Amino acid sequence: MSKVGVGVIGVGYMGAIHARAYAAEPRARLIGVFDMNADSAQSVASEVGTDMFNSINDLLSHPEVEAVSVCTPDANHVEPTLIALDAGKHVLLEKPIATTIRDADRIVTAAKNAPGQLMVAHIVRFDPRYVRVKQLLDDGKLGDPISLHARRITSRASQENLRGRVSAQLFLGIHDYDTIRWLTGQEFLRVHTETRSGMLVAKGYHVEDVAFTVARLEKGTIACVESGWSLPLEIPSADIKLEIIGTGGTARIDLSDQGLGVCVNEGRYEKSSFGHAIGEEITDFLQGITTGRQPSISATEGRESLQVALAAIRSSELGTPIRPTTIR
């Protein structure tokens, strides 16, 4: 099996996870990592047994680097992505694609004109629990979706690392906005978001404690998305759930116990457990490179999910429902 030479740009929390996944992936050869924080880069490089590079250009100019993961902070996605695409590399770009539609459009345009592939890393699409629900919906087992309720709440410990640099909508909610679009095949017609702030602001982190978004999708489905980081510090894991109610049955995902529960009308309740999805995501990215097929999640799809998240933010600011298509 020929291996794809890869590098990682940005090795904070998610970048380090990408580096470990590449190091364990038989289809990949991790050439090296780069981070503005040289100590972080050296620490991750030593952990996974690869090299640290002193600049993005040094990493991209290595003759064996064919692809990179871009895992810089959300607002800093554009420059390294454009440089990598211009250098002819394949790019796995951590979500969200960007933090503004203008920046997302720059990436979309560059990806269309680049020789390499660009895939947006919406990891939930590779989680076996969500994949199973997608299969049930596509097969008609759950009937037509009536409503979806997604919940993604972490503890205040998240802000010890993020320190208010990104909203709950862009960091957490965008997972579920993208997932709902993917599961149902429907776009968001309008969103109405209410937020509560105070607890984290008092600690110096200027982000909302929690956000609730109610949305109508294009075929009439109703969705509710809860996003926030207000759980007590003593809670060891995030509270992540999804429930879909359809005309033919329901499916419930509960990551707090790593399980998936499904009940189809006139059928029995089934429960299963699964593992983490980063390996599946990395494998899919590499398979796209080696087979030449189109990326599973295009830059355009990343832009559309960002547009929903930004509409939710605008709705909370204005106190009125917003159509995502009005966000520019």
Domains (ranges, CATH) in the chain? 4-121 (3.40.50.720), 125-275+307-326 (3.30.360.10)
Q: Which two tokens stand for residue 123?
A: 């990891």
Confidence of residue 271 (pLDDT cuts 50, 70, 90): low
Output the pTM of the full model: 0.93
- The string of pLDDT tens digits covering residues 161-195 is 888 889 999 999 999 999 999 999 999 999 999 99
Reply yes or no on whether the pLDDT at 267 is more than 80.
no
Mean pLDDT of the chain, nearest integer: 93
How many Cβ atoms sit within 10 Å of the Cβ of residue 1?
5
Alpha helices in 263-298 (DSSP H): 278-291
What percent of the chain lies above the pLDDT cut of 90?
Answer: 86
Confidence of residue 266 (pLDDT cuts 50, 70, 90): low
Sheet holding 28-34, edge to edge: 51-52, 28-34, 4-9, 67-70, 90-94, 118-121
pLDDT for the residue 274: 46
CA-closest candidate to residue 117, choices 292, 248, 279: 292
Reply yes or no on whether the pLDDT at 235 is more than 60.
yes
Reply yes or no on whether the pLDDT at 19 is more than 50.
yes
Average pLDDT over residues 191-212: 95
- The string of pLDDT tens digits covering residues 96-150 is 999 999 999 999 999 999 999 999 999 999 999 999 999 999 999 999 999 999 9
* Range in 40-54, 115-129, 227-241, 250-264 the model is least confident about: 250-264
Residue 35, CA distances (Å) to 32, 289, 291 in order: 11, 24, 30
